[in-house]
Chains A and B, each alone.
Chain A
Amino acid sequence: MQENDLKLPFKTFAPVDLHDGWEIATPAQEGIDAAELTAVYKEFHERGDLWQVRSLLVFRNNKLIAESYTKNPQEITQPVAIWSCTKQVVAILAGIAVEQGLIGSVSENLQTLLPEVIGRFPEKGEITLQNLLQMQSGIAFSNEGFGGESNQLLMQKPANSLDFILNLPKRSAAGEEFHYNDGDPHLVSAILQRHTGKSTKTWAEELLFSKLGMKNYDWVVYRDGITPGAFGIMATPREMARIGQLLLNKGLWKGEQIVSSEWIEEMTSVKITAEKANFHEKSFGYYWWIDEARGIVFMAGHGGQHVFVKPSKNLIIVSTADKTEDERFGFNLQKAFEIVDAIDSIVRN
């Protein structure tokens, strides 16, 4: 039985103008070697071990330079699951909520932030918003395996997602240990809903997505009405890039300060060192990953969904891939950085 070609042959990276707000430029106009970029894209399409990849987009100086889809060109407008890149969006939303005074500060704890719920779980009351944004709640929520809590949420087994998370035992005191998990961002989303009076999905549409001009996206909602904070956004690569561009513009979008530059700075500064984060030698801010050596901050989602932002070169690289459950077989961060490094090396300062 003959296997299908898993990727389309490379034709061009020239973007199509969809009149979606993205200005288009050629590589040469923005200081990128076109021949070298062609070689990178050819490799992206042809490398056998990158059978999972779906798209690669390059943006510089607020402009879309290159774009190619390896499996389905329709994905230019068809949203796909961006998995944990949802977390980085939630971090931005948390900043907007704090700046609007809906939440006092990141130091407020669950006693204040979720008073109706926390009465049933008093031992979790001291967990602060900052703990949650830094994956330091200490709650023993596991992302791993079929029986893990993350999978329980994906299967929508618990009727009440908040009770389910807060009822879990503690593995450490709040603020003591970095433990990457999907429970903490879900609590942040619940806090946003409690203090905005709207679902996180609706509030994000009003305060963030519509202002960024995002159209090709969606955000699934848990059966108890809470918008998941750890995963759940569907978006096209072009829409994902808008989040990266907002970061690059220090919260400013077409003249409007959507989120303060101070929050962007705070959110992307190292809170958890690479040694403690124990993830491909990357540091961690408020849900944003940081590669200190490369000077890159990035969004990272399950199975190879990435938005890399390099402020020093005004550069954004977006890549998406078919998810795999085992990182060994997927478009993992190591493979993604090989592509990023190859592009970075041909971008003139």
Chain B
Amino acid sequence: MKVTKALIFCTLLFFRYPLLAQKKNEIAVESRFLQLKDALNQGMVYGGPHIGFRYRRNIAFETWELRYEPRMAVGVLFNRGMIAANFQVSPIDFSGLVPVFRSEKAAVRAGLHFAANYCYQLYPNQMGAHLFWSSEIGFSPCAEYDYRWKNRKITLFLQNSVAGFVSHTQEIPPYFYSLTLADFVVQPHCTMQFGSFNTYNHTNLTVSFTPNVSTHHSFALGAEYFNIYAGKRFQSLTYSVQWKKSF
């Protein structure tokens, strides 16, 4: 009986913050334009439209805020009439933010961001069914600035990687190759290397505008740059327009 009471006490203690926390959900649809440059593919630049989806679970505690924001995008890329397919997924994406400054109209929060990002390409016209990938499991500091006026809000979010594990396709096998579902999981993980600014850089900047805070709709413009220097250089630059709805 004592054990049961202790378990109940611990459970209540452990979940005290979530029970008191304010929870909010948000979904977003993105229209993206992505450019991708891969040294393994002669430094050719493929570019094309994508559509993306993201979900955000926002848990605001008394003094800090936790976000879980998985996302995915899919699209096509073109170069010289050749087509490529691109798929991006971030199943793990957490941000923890604490207030740094707060006034009646403005607020600044800063914190740490942790994400696992995966990006896959297939170049059917050029490379057949060879799988190209880039992946990142890394930490970034992040900061957010809010400004409100007349029931409107503008938010600026910035993150930049500091350290993590990255992987990128380093060679194309001359003849025999593999393309299985397992390759999508195994390959980006088995060749990862740890590094910081000397290995990769991932910058994400988003400017959101909420025209009427009470309507739960908002719009955002985003720019994201990902660059792996280690081995064959890989770069991607994404511009996005987002429509978001919170509930």
Contact = CB atoms under 8 A, between A and B. Distances in A.
Interface string B176-201: 11110000000000000000000000
Interface in A295-322: 322
Nearest to A228: B175
B85 to A, nearest CB: 13
Interface string A225-240: 0001001101000000
B92 interface: no
A325 B42 contact: no
B235 A1 contact: yes
A1 B45 CA distance: 7
A1 B175 contact: no
A1 B44 CA distance: 10
A286 interface: no
A1 B35 contact: yes
B127 interface: yes
B45 A81 contact: no
Interface in A101-129: none
Contact of A3 (B37, B125, B127): B37
Interface residues of B, number: 25
A326 interface: yes
Given A324-B82, A325-B127, A6 B44 contact: yes
A345 interface: no
A146 B82 CA distance: 17
B82 A155 contact: no
A196 to B, nearest CB: 22
Nearest to B236: A1
Could you say which of A2, A156, A231, A325 has the most chain B C-beta atoms within 10 Å of its C-beta? A325
Given A71-B42, A322-B42, A80 B174 contact: yes
Contacts of A234: 174
B44 A4 contact: yes
A279 interface: no
Given A1-B235, A3-B44, A4-B44, A325 B128 contact: yes
Nearest to A86: B175
B80 A329 contact: yes
A220 interface: yes
Contact of A329 (B42, B81, B174, B235): B81
Could you say which of B43, B174, B179 has the most chain A C-beta atoms within 10 Å of its C-beta? B174
Contacts, number: 62
Contact of B129 (A1, A71, A81, A151): A151
Interface string A210-236: 000000000010000000100110100
Given A1-B45, A4-B44, A325-B127, A154 B174 contact: no
A109 B53 CA distance: 60
Given A3-B45, A6-B44, A326 B82 contact: yes
Given A71-B42, A325-B127, A220 B174 contact: yes
Given A1-B45, A6-B44, A329 B126 contact: yes
B91 interface: no
Interface in A138-187: 146, 151, 154-156
Q: Return the 9 tightest CB-CB contacts between A and B, nearest first.
A: A4-B43, A81-B174, A3-B45, A1-B35, A326-B125, A325-B128, A1-B45, A220-B175, A324-B126
26 contacts: A1-B35, A1-B37, A2-B45, A3-B37, A3-B44, A3-B45, A4-B37, A4-B42, A6-B44, A51-B80, A80-B174, A146-B128, A151-B128, A151-B129, A154-B175, A155-B178, A156-B176, A220-B176, A232-B175, A322-B42, A324-B125, A324-B126, A325-B128, A326-B125, A329-B125, A329-B126
